[in-house]
Structure 1
Amino acid sequence: MKTINLLAAMSLIAVFASPALASEQVPFKGSLAMVQTGEVQGGFLIVEGSGSGNATQLGRFAMTYHEQVDLSTGIGVATLSFVAANGDGLSASSIGHATPTPDPNILLLEEVATITGGTGRFASATGTFTLQRVLNLTTGVSSGLFSGTISNPGRR
């Protein structure tokens, strides 16, 4: 009887531990470079961008970026899509703002992003990260770093 109870307990632990493992957060950090363009529409600046980078858990990636900046508040809301070399995708949404620098052609951008899922090994991904970039308004080129956590892709 003890053997049966032990096996039953071990089975229950395995069943209930699986979701906990899937949500284990691991470091997610990387760098990116992108080119973006913007167009004023009403009281908003609509920004489209694309680029590439390298990140933990993701490896080398291509990305696209769509943002809507409220010109009355300076707050931008964006969606980001990352595609790894093997085609797996990662999606995130962010909110951020720009800070002027002494150079009127350069802005410091900071965004806080929430990972909303993806495809392949990122199908049920969760997490958050902070993205900090420097944007050259003359060229539309930006580059920066991001750091945060993501649910462990190896534990799904």
Structure 2
Amino acid sequence: MKTLNFVALTALSVSLIFACDVSQAIEGLQQEEVSEITEQEKVAGRWFNRHYRTVPFKANFFTVLNEEEVVANPDACDTPPFTAYNVQDGSGEATHLGRFTTHITFCGDITELLPGDDSPGVLEPGESLPYDSGVGSFIASNGDKLYFTASGEVLPSDHPDYDFEFHDVFIFTGGTGRFAGAKGRGMMDSFVDLATDRTDHRWTGTLKLPK
């Protein structure tokens, strides 16, 4: 019995040592992989910093519904539920742009406003109007353009001067002139007044421009 116990203990010890070695080997490989990825990220970061400069972006502007263009393009949004075409034109001022004009289009889901809804024409708390395929441009006074995309949802607003609001991410996707190759992103703070079809916007973020 003692001999069997000794053999069993020896086997158990060997198994534990082997398992420990395997665990250490796997951990070592994982650390090497993490170090390799980290180094790749560092190289990419250094390349980006050498070729791009990052600057704060802030824009204050307004847009109004371009009803004529909406009516002229009845089939612009044909992917349910995003079938409501919306076109916004406006102007404002932004860092790195100065005075600018803007043109924005997107496709919305207005199900919550339709007659079949419990409260047609009104957004109740908890309801929203999702939108997708948002594309637009800021156009500087010299004609240089800064392109962006966006998607998100329009919410009912508690602000006494507005009916709706939205606070979504926008992404810069390039441009022309001094904005060619531009990248970056930010957040919208936008408020809609239905009586005037006007939306007031305050957008902030970062703009990454090629050096």
TM-score range normalised by the length of the shorter chain: 0.7 to 0.9
Q: 1:93 aligns with which of 132, 137, 149?
A: 149
Is 1:143 equivalent to 2:143 in the alignment?
no
* Runs of 5+ unmatched residues, structure 1: 1-16
Q: In the alignment, is the contact (CA less than 8 A) between 2:136 and 2:149 conserved in 1?
A: yes
Q: In the alignment, is the contact (CA less than 8 A) between 1:37 and 1:48 conserved in 2?
A: yes
Q: CA deviation at 1:23?
A: 2.4
* Greater RCO, 1 or 2 (C-alpha within 8 Å, sep 6+): 1
Q: In the alignment, is the contact (CA less than 8 A) between 2:66 and 2:89 conserved in 1?
A: no
Further displaced range: 86-95 or 39-48:
39-48
Is 1:130 equivalent to 2:187 in the alignment?
yes
What's the TM-score, normalizing by structure 1?
A: 0.77
SS in structure 1 at match of 2:139: strand
Q: In the alignment, is the contact (CA less than 8 A) between 1:22 and 1:151 conserved in 2?
A: no
Aligned positions of 1:3-152 closer than 5 A? 19-37=48-66, 43=81, 44-72=83-111, 74-77=129-132, 78-102=134-158, 106-152=163-209
Q: In the alignment, is the contact (CA less than 8 A) between 2:170 and 2:187 conserved in 1?
A: yes
The whole-number CA distance in structure 1 between the counterparts of 2:171 and 2:157 is: 27
The whole-number CA distance in structure 2 between the counterparts of 1:71 and 1:80 is: 21
The whole-number CA distance in structure 2 between the counterparts of 1:21 and 1:135 is: 41
Higher strand share: 1
The whole-number CA distance in structure 2 between the counterparts of 1:110 and 1:99 is: 9
Over aligned residue pairs, what C-alpha RMSD do you find? 2.5
SS in structure 2 at match of 1:138: coil
Q: CA deviation at 1:37?
A: 4.8
**Structure label with greater radius of gyration:** 2
Identity across the alignment (%): 29
What's the TM-score, normalizing by structure 2?
A: 0.58
SS in structure 2 at match of 1:121: helix
* Runs of 5+ unmatched residues, structure 2: 1-45, 112-127
Change (3 A) 1:85 1:21: farther
Alignment deviations for residues 95-119 of structure 1 (CA, whole Å, 9 cap, x no partner):
121111356x610122211100000
Change (3 A) 1:96 1:37: farther
Higher helix share: 2
The whole-number CA distance in structure 2 between the counterparts of 1:37 and 1:138 is: 14
Give the paired residue count: 138
